[in-house]
Amino acid sequence: MDDWYQIKIAKQIEAYGRLSTQRSNPSDLQNPTLVQLRDWYRIARAMEVPESTLETIKTIGQRVAEGKPMPRKYWELMPHQVQSYWQQVITVIQQAEQILEKVGQHSATGITFEGCTYRIDCIYDETLQVLTQQRGIILAVEGSRIHRCHLSKVDFQQFTCFNQQISQPVSRVSLLELV
C-alpha cells in the first residue's frame, strides 16, 4: 500500500474525528450524540480502561439520553481518547504493511503473513485484513475505508513489539513469530 492510501485513511479518520469531537458551539459540547458516546464506550473497553471509567461513560450516556448535558470535564476527554485510538489504528495499518513487506509470502492473490496469533492478508485489490483464530477479522480495510475495527490494547502492543523485532538484523528475524 502506498502513501496515497495512508493519506486517504488519515482523511477518513480525521473526518471521523470531526464528527466525534466537540464543536465550538456550546450546545454541541453539552449534547454529544448517543452514537458518539457508544463509540467512546467501545473504544474505552477495547483499551481496557478501568471498570469505573466504563460505568462513568454509561452514566453520561444515560444522562444524554434523558436530555441532560454532558458534564463539562468530559468535553475534551471523549474526543481525545477517540482520536488517540484511531491514531493507533493507523499505526497498526502501517505496521501490518511493514510486516508484509519484510516477511510476507507472495501468492497469486496477494501477500500473507501468518504468525501464531495473527494472520495478515493484503489482497492485490487493496484489501488489508488482520485476523485471529479466536476473534476472526479484527481489522478490515478496503481501498481507503476501514470496514471493521476491533483492535484492542493487546493488539496495538503486539504489533509494535513485532515491528521492533523485525527491524533487528536479518539473522535474528528468522527466529521471530508474530504472537
Residue-wise pLDDT for 66-110, tens only, equals: 998 888 888 888 888 888 999 999 999 999 999 999 999 999 889
20 pLDDT higher than 60: no
Residue-range definition of the domain harbouring residue 61:
3-84
> Do 62 and 104 belong to one domain?
no
What confidence score (pLDDT) does residue 66 get?
Answer: 92
- Residue 179 falls inside a structural domain: no
CA distance 93 to 88: 9
> Do 114 and 138 belong to one domain?
yes
What confidence score (pLDDT) does residue 12 get?
Answer: 54
Query: Which CATH number goes with the domain that contains 106?
Result: 3.30.1120
Higher pLDDT, 2 or 136: 136
> Do 168 and 96 belong to one domain?
yes
152 pLDDT higher than 90: yes
Return phi, psi of residue 46, to 5°: -60, -30
Q: Which of 28, 50, 84 lies at the terminal end of a domain, its last residue?
A: 84
Structural domains in the chain (count): 2
- Residue 178 falls inside a structural domain: no
Query: Are 82 and 39 spatial neighbours (Cβ–Cβ below 8 Å)?
Result: yes
15 pLDDT higher than 80: no
Weakest-pLDDT range from 115-119, 129-133, 143-147, 150-154? 143-147
81: CB partners within 8 A, 6+ apart? 40, 43, 44, 47
> Do 77 and 134 belong to one domain?
no
* Per-residue pLDDT band at 28 (split at 50, 70, 90): very low
> Do 103 and 120 belong to one domain?
yes
Whole-model pTM: value is: 0.74
Q: Return the percentage of the chain with pLDDT > 70, whole number.
A: 75
> Do 8 and 53 belong to one domain?
yes
- Residue 63 falls inside a structural domain: yes
Left (φ > 0), alpha (ψ -120 to 50) or beta: where does 63 sit?
alpha
